[in-house]
């Protein structure tokens, strides 16, 4: 009988009322996905100008990169992590989850299957967020410009702040790109997330044009 | 290897044989699965290296190639079969080899997706592998125009141009000597 109860607890997918540690009671349905379906909003800069400068300095000096290798150029992230080029000197670190990261490093070509995951990860990142695209493939398709399965321009699907050309770029070029990104953020020009929120319909239409099995919520952060 | 080939010739109708780059034998599509089972169970070719296809659009045929390997004697052999090339959206049909090697199901899924060759009763053969819900002509067929599709779908950026390699290199290398004939 005790075994029966144990089994029942393992496969209990019924609706139930749960009490939180704060004493609040709410209903939970384990068979339902919980996500935010609100559209992204434009976040205006702080009204106090010196404070915004300070915020931007903080953002620029602690760049957390999402460790998601989307293409062959992602191999260039590894020497940056190691002692040879040691990107942590410049306040650059890698994070394992989109929730903790601020910069999305797109390493090279993005196939349609990967783009779906890129969009999903990008939307899960918390703003302000920036996209750092390396290799020719993100700019104009590179050597995969006529491929049936590889996108040509990344900036039609998510907003890109800094491009680094090359096939593939050397780690020095990527460090230079990170420097450019820092300058842009400090000048208050890193407005990728706001651009995405402003032109949300256009980006979504472009994404849905090529991602045929759209089985995720429109905005899922 | 000669004894293996002799045994195969005795048992099956071998249509064609090449020995230039490895041993490749061509048999009719109905004989293939039986031959593969014979090679696996009797001759010791226990490892399926790959299964792939070639689109011979002029002959209206698909060429299927199974590469099998004998890990004990370090021998490798290719088995070829030509099947009729169907007109999309009809699919060409071939017998599945997943009961001999479970790994064959992945190759068969890929061929189903990329060439439109169906392998009935192969597990998960209708599920998408690389392309997710592709609804057009399979892209590895040679009548699929990949450049046209890319230009229509993926927003090509202006400014890409190509040079003719011959004239470009001539102009670059022999610029001082004037135009070379």
Q: Indicate the residue of A140, A206, A213 with minimum beta-carbon distance to B133.
A: A213
Is any Cβ of chain B less than 8 angstroms from the Cβ of A215?
Answer: no
Would you say residue B22 lies in a domain? Answer: yes
pLDDT of residue A150 exceeding 70? yes
What integer is the mean pLDDT of A4-28?
75
Which CATH number characterizes residue B57's domain?
A: 3.30.460.80
Number of domains in chain B: 1
Would you say residue B173 lies in a domain? Answer: no
Cβ(A119)–Cβ(A157) below 8 Å: yes
pLDDT of residue A207 exceeding 50? yes
Would you say residue B149 lies in a domain? Answer: no
Distance from B121 to chain A by nearest Cα, in Å?
Answer: 25
Query: What is the pTM assigned to this prediction?
Result: 0.82
Chain A interface test: which of B110, B115, B154 (most A C-beta within 10 Å): B154
**A133-149 pLDDT tens trace:** 998 989 988 888 889 98
User: Between chain A and chain B, how many beta carbons pairs sit less than 8 Å apart?
Assistant: 58
Task: Return left, alpha or beta for B38; rule: phi > 0 is left, psi -120 to 50 is alpha, else beta.
Answer: alpha
**B10-50 pLDDT tens trace:** 999 999 999 988 899 999 999 999 999 999 999 999 999 99
Would you say residue B20 lies in a domain? Answer: yes
Q: What is the mean pLDDT of chain A?
A: 87
Q: How many CA atoms lie within 13 A of B5 on its CB side?
A: 16
Would you say residue B99 lies in a domain? Answer: yes
What integer is the mean pLDDT of A118-128?
89
Cβ(A161)–Cβ(A59) below 8 Å: no
pLDDT at A9: 57
Would you say residue B170 lies in a domain? Answer: no
pLDDT at A8: 54
Is any Cβ of chain B less than 8 angstroms from the Cβ of A209?
Answer: yes
Would you say residue B174 lies in a domain? Answer: no
* Domain enclosing residue B84, as ranges: 2-132
**A50-102 pLDDT tens trace:** 999 999 999 999 999 998 888 888 888 889 988 999 999 988 999 999 999 99
Would you say residue B88 lies in a domain? Answer: yes
- For A49-210, CATH gives 3.40.50.12280
- Residue ranges of chain B with pLDDT lower than 70? 178-181
Answer whether B150 sits within 8 Å of A213, measured CB to CB: no
Contacts of A156 in chain B (CB under 8 A): 155
CA distances from A103 to A87, A99, A117, A190 (A): 14, 11, 15, 11
Per domain, the residue ranges of chain A are: 49-210
């Amino acid at each position: 009988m005790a075994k029966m109860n144990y089994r029942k607890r393992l496969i209990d997918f019924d609706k139930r009322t749960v009490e939180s540690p704060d004493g609040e009671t709410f209903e939970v349905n384990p068979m339902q996905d919980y996500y935010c379906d609100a559209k992204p909003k434009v976040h205006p800069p702080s009204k106090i100008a010196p404070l915004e400068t300070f915020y931007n300095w903080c953002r620029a000096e602690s760049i957390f990169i999402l460790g998601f290798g989307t293409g062959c150029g992602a191999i260039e992230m590894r020497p940056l992590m190691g002692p040879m080029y040691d990107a942590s000197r410049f306040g650059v670190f890698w994070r394992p989850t989109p929730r903790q990261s601020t910069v999305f490093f797109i390493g090279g070509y993005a196939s349609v299957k990967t783009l779906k995951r890129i969009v999903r990860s990008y939307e899960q990142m918390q703003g302000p967020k920036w996209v750092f695209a390396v290799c020719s493939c993100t700019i104009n398709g590179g050597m995969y410009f006529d491929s049936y399965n590889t996108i040509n321009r990344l900036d039609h699907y998510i907003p890109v702040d800094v491009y680094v050309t090359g096939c593939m770029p050397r780690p020095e070029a990527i460090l230079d790109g990170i420097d450019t990104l820092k300058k842009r953020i400090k000048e208050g020009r890193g407005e990728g997330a706001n651009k995405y929120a402003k032109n949300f319909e256009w980006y979504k239409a472009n994404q849905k044009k090529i991602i045929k099995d759209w089985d995720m919520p429109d905005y899922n952060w | 290897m000669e004894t293996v080939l002799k045994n195969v010739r005795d048992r099956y109708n071998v249509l064609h044989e090449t020995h230039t780059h490895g041993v490749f034998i061509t048999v009719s599509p109905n004989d293939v699965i039986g031959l593969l089972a014979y090679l696996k169970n009797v001759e010791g070719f226990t490892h399926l290296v790959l299964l792939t296809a070639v689109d011979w659009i002029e002959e209206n045929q698909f060429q299927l190639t199974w590469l099998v390997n004998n890990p004990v004697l370090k021998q490798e052999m290719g088995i070829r079969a030509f099947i009729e090339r169907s007109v999309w959206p009809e699919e060409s049909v071939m017998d599945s080899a997943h009961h001999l090697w479970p790994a064959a199901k992945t190759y068969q899924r890929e061929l189903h997706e990329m060439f439109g060759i169906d392998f009935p009763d192969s597990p998960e053969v209708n599920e998408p592998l690389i392309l997710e819900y592709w609804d057009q002509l399979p892209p590895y067929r040679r009548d699929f125009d990949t450049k046209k599709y890319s230009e229509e779908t993926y927003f090509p950026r202006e400014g890409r141009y190509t040079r003719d390699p011959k004239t470009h290199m001539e102009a670059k290398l022999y610029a001082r000597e004037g135009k070379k004939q």
